[in-house]
Amino acid sequence: MKTNNHKTNSFSKIYCGLFGHNYIVSKKITYHVKEYSCSNCKHELTTNGSGNLVELSPKFREINDILSRIHKKKITRLSRNVISPTVYRMSS
Ligand SMILES: [Zn+2]
């Protein structure tokens, strides 16, 4: 006995096989790395270090999590760098 859910899922896969996946950005990790999810079959992709699209495996999910944390720190540091020269000039 097959469940409805299974049927829908395999239909989505056939649809994607015929017409291609309909990927939408699900998460922005850095300026260059993003996570994509197919709106039909929920298949997930990500950009790897070389800029190619690869399947979003648990390992890549972990890497992206670390990347996103580093990226957020970088942004905080950059905004501090922009402010500090002004403060330096004003005080001298
Ligand atoms: Zn798909």
Map out the domains of the chain as residue ranges.
4-91
pLDDT at 78: 84
Q: What 3-state class would DSSP assign to 44?
A: strand
Q: Summarize pLDDT for 79-92 with one digit per residue, the tens.
A: 877 655 555 555 55
Q: Summarize pLDDT for 47-67 with one digit per residue, the tens.
A: 988 889 999 999 999 999 999
Whole-number Å distance between alpha carbons of 46 and 34: 6
Going from the Cα of 38 to the center of ligand 1, the distance in angstroms, rounded, reads: 5
User: What does DSSP assign to residue 32?
Assistant: S
56 contacts 65 by C-beta, under 8 angstroms: no
Q: Which residues contact 49 (CB under 8 A, 6 or more apart)?
A: none
Q: Summarize pLDDT for 29-50 with one digit per residue, the tens.
A: 999 999 999 999 999 999 988 8
pLDDT at 84: 57
Going from the Cα of 36 to the center of ligand 1, the distance in angstroms, rounded, reads: 11
Residue in the structure block whose two tokens are 């990790």 = 29
